[in-house]
């Protein structure tokens, strides 16, 4: 059946016969089915492209990790832990000579109060007990 004829029939408002309606329906279903098959092929092709790309990147990463492992085995290094980050306002280490930590903290607090300065602005080098 000619598609131009079908459009003229539907535009004129005449009823289609059962055979013509069947052919029109089959043609419509075929067009939709072919469109879905084409869409499925496009989605499958795009998916395989990205899977290949991911596999390639994974292979490169694996090769680089193996190269790094070989370098590490060839030149083993001793691992030294990084120095712990100091608290804000910390002025470093203090030498305590026969003074417990609790007493040293008390002395630092008393000195900071007497000088009317925050304790984090003061720098204590050492604390030593003087015996009379």
Mean pLDDT by 10 residues, the chain (132 residues): 59 78 94 98 94 88 88 75 67 82 90 88 85 76
Instruction: Look up the domain containing 66 and give its range.
Output: 3-74
- Tell whether 13 and 63 lie within a shared domain: yes
Is 18 a member of any domain?
Answer: yes
Alpha-carbon 106 to chain mean position: 47
Cβ partners under 8 Å of residue 87, min gap 6: none
89 found inside a domain: yes
* Residues 88, 66 within the same domain: no
Query: Is pTM beyond 0.75 here?
Result: no
CA 11, 14, 17, 20: dihedral to nearest 10 degrees?
-10
Same structural domain for residues 105 and 125? Answer: yes
In a domain, 57, yes or no: yes
Give the single-character DSSP code of 97.
E
Domain boundary among 56, 74, 92: 74
The tally of domains found in the chain comes to 2
Virtual CA dihedral for 12, 15, 19, 24, nearest 10 degrees? Answer: 50
């Amino acid at each position: 059946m000619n598609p131009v004829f079908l459009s003229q029939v539907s535009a004129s408002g005449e009823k289609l016969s059962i055979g013509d309606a069947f052919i029109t329906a089959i043609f419509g279903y075929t067009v939709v089915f072919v469109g879905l098959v084409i869409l499925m092929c496009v989605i499958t092709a795009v998916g395989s492209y990205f899977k290949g790309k991911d596999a390639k990147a994974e292979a490169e990463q694996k090769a680089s990790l193996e190269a790094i492992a070989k370098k590490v085995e060839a030149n083993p290094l001793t691992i030294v832990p990084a120095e712990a980050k100091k608290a804000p306002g910390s002025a470093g280490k203090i030498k305590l000579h026969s003074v417990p930590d609790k007493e040293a903290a008390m002395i630092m607090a008393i000195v900071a109060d007497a000088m009317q300065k925050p304790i984090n602005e003061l720098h204590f080098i050492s604390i030593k007990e003087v015996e009379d």
